[in-house]
Structure 1
Amino acid sequence: MADQETDVLVVGAGPTGLALAVVLRQAGLKVTVVERGTSRDQRTRAITLHAPTLEFLDALNLLAAVREQGLPLERISFHTHHGSYHGSLTGLDSSVDGYLNLPQPAYEELLEGVARDCGVDFRYGTTYMGHSGGSHSPDEPLTVRLDGDSGAALVRCQYLVGCDGAGSQVRARLGSSMEGRHAPASYLLVEGEPLRPATEPETGIYVGEAGMVTLAPLPAGQVRIAGPADMMLALDKNAQVTADQVATLVDALGFGDRLRLRQVERVAQYTVQERIASRMADGRVALAGDAAHLNAPAGGQGLNLGIGDVLALAWRIVYAIRHNSTVDMAAYEAERREAAAEAIAAANVLPLVQRMRTARGAADKESLQQTLTRHAPRWSQLYPHHPAPDAPELPGAYRLEEGTRVPTAVREGGEQIDLLPAEADATLSTLLVRHRSSLAEMRDVAGDRAALLGCPPVGTLNTVRLDEDHPRIRAMWPQDAAALLVRPDRRVAAVLAVDAPRRLKLSTA
């Protein structure tokens, strides 16, 4: 295998690695992806694509293909023997409504097609063996050692990103460990054709006295049943289970043929990890996706969290290479550590489930439904937790401040107001301006601030027409703000005050 040079070497051709390769290549960088496997894993694996990921796919012109192959859904529902509770994922602030179930192999195939079309270099059957160099200085060589069927090779690159999953060798080379816990109960999984077709537009969680399972519909009439059917069951990692054993445990939940399969296609058991890497970056080497964090599958968090890593990291790498500077990896790590912690917290539904098991009266049930209605949007990852307060003028809205995510669109009373294009352009920032009369002044101020904060230059000016007093946008807009400088990953980099630049508020978020 011949030695080579590339701008960015990505280790791992899973969802995160493929997405990162596409964004970087479309920004004009030379990208190489190495993958130890020689073929794609055809197990369904991750299946849930939430709104931010669908926005990302829309920017790649893949949304139509994903919708054609996937199964659109609207809510996550909890079913007990005493009633049902529904958490809607429609009507949220996004240009894409609801969520979608699509097996991971199909998602990866679509992404790899785009990556190959735009010129990403792939090396399958190639193993990352280690690296040297890679300090913060862009002048110090970063050399990666690879091994494959064609022999050993060295690749010189400017950045190395480990997207190589839970057993990441890049993470091991950094001396980073996964800190957190694993769930004490074993999760069982079975897939196949259901005895009763899944007709509701939902992912259903069936709660019994001693356990619970999720019934997730899949394309082509298939379903996945998975979860800690017995909270006391703890199997060895390599223990084998049969379809009959899973069926017996699921039947014990007491939901009859609603959770029975006519034909079984796959059976597995696994443990759930809730862990975050002790170090997500070092110099010009970074981790993303499962290499950086692991979480429970509730709400479909993992794959979507990896796309968030991609959007937060890609613009930083592009800017650094174009300006011969360095990535502020500390800021990247702080942001994604917070996002991972929020995803882990959002996936913890056990306290809610325990309340459902004991709820009897109308007041208890109404309180539970209100709690779930507030909690469900957290699964979408549209609203990452930040200290920004809720907008008191309008329930459900939140105040845009430094670090918060700017929606692609806002929804109110069935109306959609487009706010920020769902672009995956890592080369440009956006300026949202309150009044058209201040466009020129705000562009000059934003250009200075973008350079100071290490953001890409402003490429788009959007005018938020607050003159029309749209209630939701008015509730979200920061008080006294004339404009918002928005990074390529749609996070607010700076709030520009009305009498900017004297009252300009800066952030390195």
Structure 2
Amino acid sequence: MTQTTVLIVGAGPTGLTLAVDLARRGVDLLLVDAVAERPGSRGKGLQPRTLEVFDDLGVTGALLATGAVYPPLRTYHRGQVVWEGRMHEPRLPTAAVPYPMVIMQPQWRTERVLRERLAGLGHRVRHGARLTGLDQDEDGVTAVLEDGERIRAAYLVGADGGRSTVRKAAGVGFHGETRPAERMLLGDVTTGDLDRDHWHMWGDPATRSLDVALCPLPGTGDFQLTAPVPATADGEEDLPEPTLETFQAVLDRAGAGVRLTGAGWTSVYRVNIRMAERFRAGRVFLAGDAAHVHSPAGGQGLNTGVQDAYNLGWKLAAVLAGAPGRLLATYEEERLPVAASVLGLSTALHEKGTKGDPDAHVRDEETRQLLLAYPGGFLCEGPRGGERVPDAVLGRVRLFDVLRGPHFTLLTFGDAAPDQAGAAALHGSAVRAFTVALPGRTGDLVDVEERLHEHFGAGTAVLVRPDGYVGYHGAPGGLEPYLSRVLGPR
């Protein structure tokens, strides 16, 4: 029997993110996937908060080097340009938000970058390993693969998509709806007839309906083609094969005047809006599409899965290192409400699009996921407990550089630093202290430090969780009781 500590099933962005996070913490893991590496652009939008997560994991640089912001939209009707606009208003980086724009990156490349990072940490995906069942007891989980191999792990995480075998084997319900009449042709295609500076769309401006769209994928010669499939009069399934010939026929009917020269990955998408009734069943956890599936509107699905993994990784590692098991209950407590909220947001955006609302293309602050928070609860104390910690420039370093890594970070301010640092030192390398200089000089950098003081308030203790959210914010005397409750007494 194969032995590991954490078995992750599914090597998409969610499973890979979790594997990278656990690997950098020195956790023994095995990441398996039923199929080979997946082609296709699929989920192509990386939200600002996800870029911050990837910054911590050390992959944002590679993703920014080959990705790009979303291009302007351009709509045609009867051979004429009838509208132009943007999905996201341009924003410049600030001290607090270093990655303000959504970055387009085909999903195959996001996964490749994460696999390369994981390989650098000494782990590789086991492809062709299909899970067929699992059993669990008080001490661990035994997974069974299609070839008969048995894998024993302390914990198992299902990141194996909307049809999750793990979720079904764990007996977790998956509630919601499938909308069979709302279907979309998808494919990565090539053409030399269009510029790559716009997201090209053809449709009827009177009804605000879309016939077909071609979006240039950065760092490639491909366009992602999307085209809704009209429902049949009798409501029965009548899905065309997603082939080059089918795509060409769709463009011809729209009067696009575009000749396709090739097609790679192709698919037919049916709108599913579902969420698992719980994200944990004993020693089995669900993350990403195994826990929630979204409409593609707003680019929320992939990003929510990445942040599931980021929330779960440090908690698994902490409990394996001796922290109280209560810590693992906070995964569902924190992520299920967030996933439900994001699912509602993506569904609302999808319905605006199907109704032809004039602002259906606009993406606002909520979709960037920078406002997501975990107020209250076991892990978040104080006025700003549970909030995302903004970046800041502190002298010659960025705050995100200080936070990067598997540790809690105690931000200490001026004269209070020695006493607070002493409390942190009791927990060894799990907590690192960083002193923020008190204001007193002039200049832009110190102005940022002053704003950080104002943000948290003078004389408070600020403990940042490993996932970049405020764990404790309050009087210094409450710091040690908090750390002992979360990480265990020292």
Q: Does the 8 Å CA contact 1:432/1:462 hold for their aligned counterparts? A: yes
Aligned 1:383-394 pairs, distance under 5 A: 383-384=371-372
Per the alignment, residue 160 of structure 2 pairs with 164
Q: What is the aligned length?
A: 459
The runs of 5 or more residues in structure 2 that have no matched partner are 77-81, 377-381, 441-445
Q: Does the 8 Å CA contact 1:431/1:458 hold for their aligned counterparts? A: yes
Cα distance in structure 1, aligned partners of 2:204 and 2:97: 30
Secondary structure of the residue aligned to 1:191 is strand
Q: In terms of mean alpha carbon deviation, does 278-287 or 78-87 score higher? A: 78-87
Assess, with a 3 A threshold, how the Cα gap between structure 1 residues 337 and 78 changes in structure 2: closer, same or farther.
farther
Whether 1:404 aligns to 2:401 is no
Alpha-carbon offset, residue 269 of structure 1: 2.0
Assess, with a 3 A threshold, how the Cα gap between structure 1 residues 248 and 341 changes in structure 2: closer, same or farther.
farther
Cα distance in structure 2, aligned partners of 1:203 and 1:400: 46
Cα distance in structure 2, aligned partners of 1:423 and 1:191: 38
Aligned 1:100-139 pairs, distance under 5 A: 100-120=103-123, 122-134=125-137
Cα distance in structure 1, aligned partners of 2:423 and 2:294: 41
Secondary structure of the residue aligned to 1:181 is strand
Secondary structure of the residue aligned to 2:260 is strand
Q: In terms of mean alpha carbon deviation, does 467-476 or 52-61 score higher? A: 467-476
Whether 1:429 aligns to 2:430 is no
Q: Does the 8 Å CA contact 2:208/2:357 hold for their aligned counterparts? A: no
Q: Please, which of 458, 463, 468 is the counterpart of residue 431 of structure 2?
A: 458
Secondary structure of the residue aligned to 2:364 is helix
Per the alignment, residue 176 of structure 1 pairs with 172
Q: Does the 8 Å CA contact 2:411/2:463 hold for their aligned counterparts? A: yes
Aligned 1:482-493 pairs, distance under 5 A: 482-493=460-471
Secondary structure of the residue aligned to 1:225 is strand
Q: In terms of mean alpha carbon deviation, does 228-237 or 274-283 score higher? A: 228-237
Cα distance in structure 2, aligned partners of 1:175 and 1:157: 19
Q: Please, which of 33, 36, 61 is the counterpart of residue 34 of structure 2?
A: 36
2:220 partner amino acid: A
Whether 1:55 aligns to 2:52 is yes
Aligned 1:329-408 pairs, distance under 5 A: 329-347=328-346, 348-350=348-350, 353=353, 357=357, 372=362, 375-384=363-372, 401-408=384-391
Q: TM-score, normalised by structure 2?
A: 0.79
Q: Does the 8 Å CA contact 1:76/1:89 hold for their aligned counterparts? A: no
Secondary structure of the residue aligned to 2:23 is helix
Q: Please, which of 11, 14, 36 is the counterpart of residue 13 of structure 1?
A: 11
Per the alignment, residue 443 of structure 2 pairs with none
Q: Please, which of 136, 140, 143 is the counterpart of residue 142 of structure 1?
A: 140
Q: In terms of mean alpha carbon deviation, does 230-239 or 317-326 score higher? A: 230-239
1:401 partner amino acid: R
Q: Deviations over 1:355-390 (max 9, x none)?
A: 9756xxxxxxxxx69x94xx52322222216679xx
Q: Does the 8 Å CA contact 1:31/1:121 hold for their aligned counterparts? A: no
Q: Deviations over 1:442-462 (max 9, x none)?
A: 3345678xx8xxx99322425
Aligned 1:189-204 pairs, distance under 5 A: 189-194=186-191, 195-200=193-198
Cα distance in structure 2, aligned partners of 1:354 and 1:186: 11
Secondary structure of the residue aligned to 2:160 is coil
Q: Does the 8 Å CA contact 1:402/1:492 hold for their aligned counterparts? A: yes
Cα distance in structure 1, aligned partners of 2:200 and 2:56: 26
Per the alignment, residue 92 of structure 2 pairs with 91
Aligned 1:243-258 pairs, distance under 5 A: 256=256
Assess, with a 3 A threshold, how the Cα gap between structure 1 residues 271 and 59 changes in structure 2: closer, same or farther.
same
Q: Deviations over 1:46-65 (max 9, x none)?
A: 22222333334334443343
Assess, with a 3 A threshold, how the Cα gap between structure 1 residues 104 and 180 changes in structure 2: closer, same or farther.
same
Aligned 1:217-236 pairs, distance under 5 A: 217-218=216-217, 219-226=219-226, 228=228, 230=230, 236=237
Q: Does the 8 Å CA contact 1:130/1:170 hold for their aligned counterparts? A: yes
2:421 partner amino acid: R
Per the alignment, residue 297 of structure 1 pairs with 296
Q: Does the 8 Å CA contact 2:41/2:188 hold for their aligned counterparts? A: no
Cα distance in structure 2, aligned partners of 1:443 and 1:384: 29
Per the alignment, residue 379 of structure 2 pairs with none
Per the alignment, residue 312 of structure 2 pairs with 313
Cα distance in structure 2, aligned partners of 1:482 and 1:419: 17
2:135 partner amino acid: S
Secondary structure of the residue aligned to 2:5 is strand
Cα distance in structure 2, aligned partners of 1:205 and 1:338: 37
Cα distance in structure 1, aligned partners of 2:474 and 2:238: 53
Alpha-carbon offset, residue 156 of structure 1: 2.3
Whether 1:188 aligns to 2:185 is yes
Cα distance in structure 1, aligned partners of 2:405 and 2:214: 36
Q: Does the 8 Å CA contact 2:288/2:306 hold for their aligned counterparts? A: yes
2:431 partner amino acid: V
1:419 partner amino acid: L
Assess, with a 3 A threshold, how the Cα gap between structure 1 residues 185 and 471 changes in structure 2: closer, same or farther.
farther
Cα distance in structure 2, aligned partners of 1:36 and 1:64: 29
Cα distance in structure 2, aligned partners of 1:376 and 1:42: 30
Whether 1:46 aligns to 2:34 is no
Q: Identity of aligned pairs, percent? A: 26
Q: Does the 8 Å CA contact 2:143/2:152 hold for their aligned counterparts? A: no
Secondary structure of the residue aligned to 2:421 is helix
Secondary structure of the residue aligned to 1:349 is helix
Cα distance in structure 2, aligned partners of 1:323 and 1:76: 51
Assess, with a 3 A threshold, how the Cα gap between structure 1 residues 351 and 91 changes in structure 2: closer, same or farther.
farther
Q: In terms of mean alpha carbon deviation, does 172-181 or 288-297 score higher? A: 172-181
Per the alignment, residue 328 of structure 1 pairs with 327
Alpha-carbon offset, residue 188 of structure 1: 2.3
Q: Does the 8 Å CA contact 2:131/2:146 hold for their aligned counterparts? A: no
Cα distance in structure 2, aligned partners of 1:177 and 1:90: 41
Per the alignment, residue 419 of structure 1 pairs with 399
Cα distance in structure 2, aligned partners of 1:205 and 1:380: 27
Q: TM-score, normalised by structure 1?
A: 0.76
Assess, with a 3 A threshold, how the Cα gap between structure 1 residues 83 and 400 changes in structure 2: closer, same or farther.
farther
Cα RMSD of the aligned pairs, angstroms, is 4.1
Alpha-carbon offset, residue 309 of structure 1: 0.9
Assess, with a 3 A threshold, how the Cα gap between structure 1 residues 122 and 198 changes in structure 2: closer, same or farther.
closer
Secondary structure of the residue aligned to 1:9 is strand
Per the alignment, residue 64 of structure 2 pairs with 67
Cα distance in structure 2, aligned partners of 1:179 and 1:456: 42
Moved >6 Å (runs of 4+): 202-207, 231-235, 250-254, 504-508
